[in-house]
Amino acid sequence: MNTRYLPANLVIGAILVVLTLGVALLSVFWTPYDYTQLDIVHKFQGPSAAHWLGTDQLGRDLLSQLMAGAGNSMAVAVTAVVLGGSIGTALGLLASAYGGWVEDIVMRLSDLSFAFPALLFAIMLAAAFGPSLPNVVVAIAFINVPIFARVARASANQIWTREYVFAARAAGLGKFAISRDHILPNIAAPIIVQATIEFALAILIEAALSYLGLGAQPPSPSWGRMLSEAQTLMYLAPQLAIYPGLSIVVAVLGFGLLGDGLRDVTDPRLSRER
């Protein structure tokens, strides 16, 4: 592959992702203020040297809340996508390796869970087990399983017809060993691309669930919860809704663009003029 220039979506996506992840990582060690610290006297402040983005209706530092929210959002998205992606990829490899009724069962179950809206499933989980971030992780992981199972199976089916897989069979390798040694390394690219895109959607779903009060519970910081708290104050202090909204846009856009860019780079069928 000739890499004279990188696609713009890849570069812009990568910058936004690095920014988001950097802030999220930083928030684990340091935020300007404790995001739970109330300071009623200094509520609704505009940007200042002390509070870069100002304070909210209870005088909490907005920047600190946004940073901690980034940490929360990333942690949920990473856990959920890695969990759902691993299970889904394993199922897809299994379906592709054994074919027949194994493949039928895995793929029909995927079809079935595709028919289930993610938000509805999360609301159901919250109703059954109470609203909490772990339940959000489970819900997002669950909806990712069939997505990755499909991608993994489709890509793996292509690899199984390659001659080096026949060569491995001639060498006496079993299906598990071939899946591990040849199939998985050769489908890594589409899996990673998919994971990046699903990551963006996971951030969005987490925000939506927290907004609905089904995700992060007070005082745990979350962009979605900040939005819902800011809603009643929209006319009084619109900045309280704008900052978390912008954070969500930047994170989702970043991962979405990065995923598209990675796909352009790794999938030669989609690349335009050389």
Partner 1 sequence: MADKLLAVENVSRHYKLPKQALFRPAPVLTAVDQASFDLERGQTLGIVGESGSGKSTLAKMVMAFEPPDTGRILFQGQDINALDAGELRLLRQDFQMVFQDPFGSLDPRRTVAWSIGEPMRAIGRAAPAEIRIRVAEVLEQVGLTAKDGLKFPHEFSGGQRQRIAIARAISTRPALLVADEAVSALDVSVQAQILNLLMDLQADLGLSMLFISHDLAVVASICDKVIVLQKGRILEAGDTGHVLGNPAHEYTRSLVAAARM
Kindly tell me the sign of the dihedral angle through the C-alpha atoms of 65, 69, 70, 71. positive
User: Please, are residues 48 and 54 in contact by the beta-carbon 8 Å criterion?
Assistant: yes
To partner 1, the closest distance from the beta carbon of 179 in angstroms equals: 13
Nearest to 199 by CA among 71, 75, 66, 78: 78
C-beta closer to partner 1: residue 189 or 212? 189
- Report 177-206 residues binding partner 1 (CB under 8 A): 177, 181-182, 185-186
The count of residues interacting with partner 1 (CB under 8 A) is 17
C-beta closer to partner 1: residue 12 or 168? 168
C-beta closer to partner 1: residue 185 or 219? 185
Binding to partner 1 by residue 268, rule CB under 8 A? no
Q: What is d(CA 124, CA 131) in angstroms, rounded to the nearest whole number?
A: 10
C-beta closer to partner 1: residue 12 or 173? 173
C-beta closer to partner 1: residue 40 or 188? 188
To partner 1, the closest distance from the beta carbon of 263 in angstroms equals: 19
To partner 1, the closest distance from the beta carbon of 110 in angstroms equals: 24
- Report 148-177 residues binding partner 1 (CB under 8 A): 162-164, 166-174, 177
Distances from the Cα of 35 to the Cα of 63, 66, 107, 184, angstroms: 8, 9, 45, 43
CA geometry: angle 49, 55, 58, nearest 5 deg: 145
To partner 1, the closest distance from the beta carbon of 6 in angstroms equals: 22
C-beta closer to partner 1: residue 127 or 177? 177
Which residues of the shown chain bind partner 1 in the complex (CB under 8 A)?
162-164, 166-174, 177, 181-182, 185-186
